[in-house]
Amino acid sequence: MDEPIGLVALALDAAFGWPERLYRRVGHPVGAFARIIEWGAERWNRPHRGVRQRQAGGAMTVALAAGFAVAAGWAAESAVRHVLDPDGWPAIALLAYPAIAQRSLFDHARPVLAALNAGDLPQARHAVGMIVGRDTGDLDEGGVSRAAIESLAESFCDGVIAPLFWLMLLGLPGVWAFKAISTADSLIGHREEPWRDFGRFAARADDIANFIPARIAGVLICLAGSGGWQTMWRDHAKHASPNAGWPEASMAGALGVWLAGPIAYDGAMHAKPAIGAGRDAGPADLRKAIGIFIRACALVWLTAFAGLLAGGWAWLG
């Protein structure tokens, strides 16, 4: 890709995010993927179908969502190149930036910290419940802090690194196909019923799409946090996901806390091993985690800019 599309997309997201007013009026592009996935689930994830039928239906559903994303992305990028070439790259960056979530992650983590600092645990539970899927009604201060930190670390991968990775590799078709797969994983890629069989393909596709970005994210968090390398290498495999453990373990190590552990979903406790070691997390650690996230994003910006300098782009001259 010959233009600073990734860097401009990052800048647009940092400056504007996806405004709440815009979301209320038109929604978000991933809403189209969600509707396709919901349609597939209603059609092919019926109780009377066999395991293989539900698995095939889930694969077809993901293929439809990703195929729609690729077709729409290709059509949009081709149209921009045809009409505006050679000056169409800002429009491509504009069409790509909603796929990046660095501003959204910051905006969702900050209210959790504010509520904890104010001693308002109910509000902190509500705020963290907006960004995690676990039960939050009984979480104490440490549980809320851990949940927010884990979400921030994991989402740094699938909300910042992975979209940028696929944008730079495959352009608009790549970044929006990734978002379609990521949306499918968040909606149906669960081990619990009724999604276990139907969502198997979505979960595997997301694992593949995040494989390289997750490891990049882990390294960047360690660099931004000035540590965490040993914990990342030792504990990344303790996570059920082959990818999420990398950024979470690196964040736990950088902060010197433990994350994960037993978590409740829909009223049922799930025994999960702790990642990291040391003390329980608290509001001060969430504040530090937000700082690490900001510095890690800055490293992404610097890396993108360094790539432009190394390439000797004419627009810098």
pLDDT at 78 over 90: yes
The pLDDT score that the predictor gives to residue 197 is 93
Residue 316: how many other CB atoms lie within 10 Å = 10
pLDDT at 317 over 50: no
Q: What are the tens digits of pLDDT across the range 108-165?
A: 999 999 999 999 999 999 999 998 888 888 889 999 999 999 999 999 999 999 999 9
Report the SS3 class of residue 85: coil
Question: Predicted confidence band at 315 (pLDDT cuts at 50, 70, 90)?
Answer: very low
Distances (CA, A) of 234 to 14, 230, 275, 276, 277: 33, 6, 9, 9, 11
Structure tokens at 146: 């851990």
The pLDDT score that the predictor gives to residue 24 is 81
Structure tokens at 144: 């809320």
Q: Bridge partners of 195?
A: none
CB 70 within 8 A of CB 172: no
Does 279 or 210 have the greater pLDDT score?
A: 210
The pLDDT score that the predictor gives to residue 267 is 66
Contacts of 163 (CB under 8 A, 6+ apart): 96, 99, 100, 101, 175, 178, 179
Which of 96, 98, 88, 129 lies closest to 112, judged by CA?
129
Stretch 278-294: mean pLDDT:
95
Stretch 203-220: mean pLDDT:
97
Threshold 0.85, pTM exceeds: yes
DSSP string, 122-158: HHHHHHHHTT--S--TT--HHHHHHHHHHHHHHHHII
The pLDDT score that the predictor gives to residue 62 is 97
Residues 8 and 6: their CA atoms lie apart, in Å, by 5
Structure tokens at 66: 């990703």
Residues 199 and 35: their CA atoms lie apart, in Å, by 15
Question: Predicted confidence band at 311 (pLDDT cuts at 50, 70, 90)?
Answer: low
The pLDDT score that the predictor gives to residue 132 is 87
The pLDDT score that the predictor gives to residue 255 is 96
Give the E-state strand segments of the chain in sequence order. 258-260, 263-265, 268-270, 274-276
Asked if omega into 273 is within 30° of 0 (cis), the reply is no
The pLDDT score that the predictor gives to residue 313 is 44
Average pLDDT of the chain?
90
Q: How far is CA 51 from the centre of its chain?
A: 29
| Helix 162-188, helix 5-16: angle, nearest 10 | 60
DSSP 8-state symbol, 279? B
